[in-house]
Structure 1
């Protein structure tokens, strides 16, 4: 789960505390709104999240991609 928090911090620029809260929300409910903005930037963020494991410097552990989706924000 540390990997998920790391991705959220690096790609979305959130704090570690916020990343952990979002990660736990997704873990317990199956989803979390982690970012809102324009569709074009959202598409870029999704690609960065999905490929983060390919560019991560680390101990060589296999950390596969995790899935994310783009959806209209509630109330929009």
Structure 2
């Protein structure tokens, strides 16, 4: 190097810091699951099998065969569990059943079918 040039020291770059977890590696984080609820469809004499099949297809995207099985179960035992899910989703599906409308195939029908939600045990 000449007298006029001075050596410029390159700054040393520190390696990037890596984020460290706030818990010790031996700690296990528990995943907390949301409680589950069943949507229950209740039987009545004012709705046809065709109505139930159409409703299950429209609201739950079930195939016709599955909708027919639910219609048979509602008819035979008075109720059927149509879905088990989180509380918010169960409330939505119950409300959609309640607002589905009347069965046009049965003249005495005045409105939608009845549905409730119930928590399931662990």
Distance 1:23 1:72 in 2: 22
Q: Secondary structure in 1 aligned to 2:80?
A: coil
Contiguous gaps of at least 5 residues in structure 2: 1-47
| Residue 72 (str. 1) matches residue 111 (str. 2) | no
> Are the aligned partners of 1:3 and 1:63 in contact in 2 as well (CA < 8 Å)?
no
More helix by share: 1
More strand by share: 2
What is the aligned partner in structure 2 of residue 36 from structure 1?
Answer: 84
Distance 1:12 1:71 in 2: 18
TM-score by length of 1: 0.80
Structure index of larger Rg: 2
Following TM superposition, where does structure 1 have runs of at least 4 consecutive aligned residues deviating by more than 3 angstroms? none
Q: How does 1:1-76 map to 2 (within 5 A)?
A: 1=48, 2-53=50-101, 64-73=111-120, 75-76=121-122
Q: What is the count of residue pairs matched by the alignment?
A: 71
Contiguous gaps of at least 5 residues in structure 1: none
